[in-house]
Amino acid sequence: MTTETRPSVETEPDTALDARAGWTHEHVLDLDDFSREEVGQVLDIADRMREVLDRRIARVPALRGYTVVNLFYEPSTRTRASFELAGKVLGADVLSLTASTSSVVKGESLIDTVRTMRAMRADAIVMRHSMAGAPYLAAKHTDASIINAGDGAHAHPTQALLDLYTIRRHIGDLTGKRVVMVGDIAHSRVARSDLWGLTAMGAEVVVCGPPTLLPRGLRPQDRPSHAESALPPVTIETDIERALEGADVVMALRLQSERQQGGLLPSLHEYSQHYQVTEERLARAKPAALLMHPGPKNEGIEIAASVAGSDRSIIEEQVTNGVAVRMALLYLLSGRTELPAGDETRR
């Protein structure tokens, strides 16, 4: 039996309370409404959560009595499992529902499903849905906290936060750092949320892919006047060699075939010939450049197996950090929950 000597969330109630001070978000729907300071607050708490996660027995009662429901209308490995672990490490009750085995198959609506979960006292509902905007609709119909775990091709804010956290752990301040995303930008909710988060933190963002996989409206001159500020500033490249030149971070993105219409690519073979992140191409980045991928990855298509398994790859660390960042988010959101009188244990 080991004796726990390291500082913990539950033994520092005053510090823990301070860590949540100033947090105003009821939901986490995307990062377009997160300031640099707010992103920094999440990442600072994630540091403390990572310390808890790395303990031999990773359990603290910070969210005892708090209920988290995972409501997934689309498949997931990393996001769903990490929210489940994040809640459990903090002592929350966690319930996971998949649409295919729920009353959704009997025709129950999204709103009714969310309201049913809230009627069972869910405090936070983590939602993945194929329709962009579904978590926003849910948030209008419940006072539980809605966390967007991916909505169509729109947003995946918790992935972006874990990406930011992972980069920060390696290179510190992101100001002026060149972050290059390569792949299917048009259909990637990760790219969209990363764009908001990275630019909020001062990074220089480059997106690279074939013209058919770059979203319309990304270039400032293509944006309709009513939507000039609808996307953050970004450099667009269709030449991967040029894009990777001097990169501090390279993110390879999967082809989102489940969201693509046909005819966007001549063939997978040609795509990988022109846009796969290979060792030779990565040599154009800075020598210490980080190689990331949100997963799931298709080695041999968007990323070479030798690159994915190389020393530069921090793909598995992204997964570990995903648990810490989701712990931080649940912890921050729990600050708005009404507790029974006299119950100070979660404060």
Which spans of this chain sit near ligand CP (rule: CB under 6 A)? 76-79, 150, 159, 294-296
Q: Which two tokens stand for residue 97?
A: 């529902």
For ligand CP, the closer CB: 48 or 156: 156
- Name which of 128, 112, 147, 121 is nearest 30 in CA terms: 147
Neighbours of 178 (CB within 10 A): 20
- The smaller minimum CB distance to ligand CP, of residues 16 and 79, is found at 79
Residue 306 CB, shortest distance to ligand CP, in Å, is: 22
Q: Which residue, 79 or 276, has its beta carbon nearer to ligand CP?
A: 79
Write down the least CB distance from residue 7 to ligand CP, Å: 31
- Least distance (Å) between residue 296 CB and ligand CP: 6
Q: Which residue, 48 or 293, has its beta carbon nearer to ligand CP? A: 293
- Which residue, 49 or 126, has its beta carbon nearer to ligand CP? 126
Least separation in angstroms between residue 220's CB and ligand CP is: 29
* Minimum distance from residue 138 beta carbon to ligand CP (Å): 18
Residue 91 or 294: which CB sits closer to ligand CP? 294
Our CB check for ligand CP shows the closer of 67 and 79 to be 79
C-alpha R_g of the chain: 20
Least separation in angstroms between residue 335's CB and ligand CP is 26
Q: Specify whether the CB–CB gap between 84 and 149 falls below 8 A.
A: no
CB of residue 311 vs ligand CP: minimum separation in angstroms?
Answer: 22
**How far apart are CB 184 and ligand CP at their closest, in Å?**
14
254 or 281: whose CB is closer to ligand CP? 254
